[in-house]
Amino acid sequence: MKRVLFAMLLVVVTFQAHAVGHIADVSIYNRDTGEVLPVHFNKGQYWIAGVPGARYAVSISNRTDERILAVTSVDGVNAISGDTANWSQTGYVFRPWESYQIDGWRKSNSEVADFLFASSSASYATLTGRPANVGIIGVALFHERHPLPPAYSQRERPRTVAPAPVDVPAQAASSASPLAKRAAPSAEEGLGTAHGQREKSQVTQVDFERLQNSPNEIILIRYDSLPNLIAMGVVRPLPAPNSIPNAFPGAAVAHYVPDPPSYRP
């Protein structure tokens, strides 16, 4: 059965470093600094360090010569519909080799509300009664089913191998809440994604039929503030620069006019 899904306008992104994935490259982009956030691998999980108060985007680049579907989840919430995320839901359709930045929570075919790093208590998921999965970004990727040539019978139909199923969190109760405001986390509180300001982001609706019910690839990227990642041992703190101690660091160093280059007395 065909589903109505969203296809994005082509947006060229030049960076490929720090990406995760095989069918598609997924990376997280700090929109305020222009930086692609480095990915840290720790105990079988991918992590990034978010900057409190910064706008970010989920950048996805199709690495295949066919269309793919990317069902995108932030903090356990579908980034298009706002429903508790399930990979059977709507997503973004990518043309062959296409790249696109998902900048926020989709509000309509022409607007999104910015993804904004904020304290977990100020995240959109928490304010809508779903705090259990704050701090993770997920992208479920699907290949497209194509009509079979007339020569194929049902019995001769090519078969595909589906990946092992992954548990999906049960639907959590939701309640009406005000939109999240820009807020930095405390040293103990984790990082989440708030509902930021609206901006223009145009998409169109297209049909897409999945090759199979379960994803062909699932990409998971967890995130938190840098101090919390250092405290968890995910990121090593930078060592202090080596220096030679100075017994008189405040004393002025006397000197005279130096000779010009190549000067010989």
User: What distance in Å separates the CA atoms of residue 115 and residue 56, rounded to the nearest whole number?
Assistant: 6
- In a domain? residue 150: yes
Write out the two tokens for 47.
Answer: 């992590």
User: What distance in Å separates the CA atoms of residue 57 and residue 170, rounded to the nearest whole number?
Assistant: 26
What is the share, in percent, of the chain residues with pLDDT greater than 70?
75
Q: How confident is the model at residue 178 (pLDDT cuts 50, 70, 90)?
A: very low
pLDDT digits (tens, 9 = 90+) for 103-155: 999 999 999 999 999 999 999 999 999 999 999 999 999 999 987 665 544 44
How many structural domains is the chain composed of? 1
- In a domain? residue 248: no
pLDDT at res. 13: 35
- In a domain? residue 11: yes
- In a domain? residue 241: no
Tell me the residue range of the domain where 83 lies. 3-232
Instruction: Quote the mean pLDDT of the chain.
Output: 80
User: What distance in Å separates the CA atoms of residue 85 and residue 223, rounded to the nearest whole number?
Assistant: 18
- In a domain? residue 255: no
Cα separations in angstroms, 51 against 15, 54, 117, 128, 130: 20, 6, 6, 23, 22
For residue 175, pLDDT beyond 80: no
pLDDT digits (tens, 9 = 90+) for 232-243: 999 888 776 676
- In a domain? residue 239: no
Cβ proximity of 101 and 13 under 8 Å = yes
User: Three-state DSSP class for 159?
Assistant: coil
pLDDT at res. 250: 74
Lowest mean pLDDT among 52-66, 159-173, 181-195, 218-232: 159-173
- List, in sequence order, every residue forming a beta bridge with 218; answer none if it has no partner: 140
DSSP 8-state code for residue 11: -
- In a domain? residue 253: no
- In a domain? residue 254: no
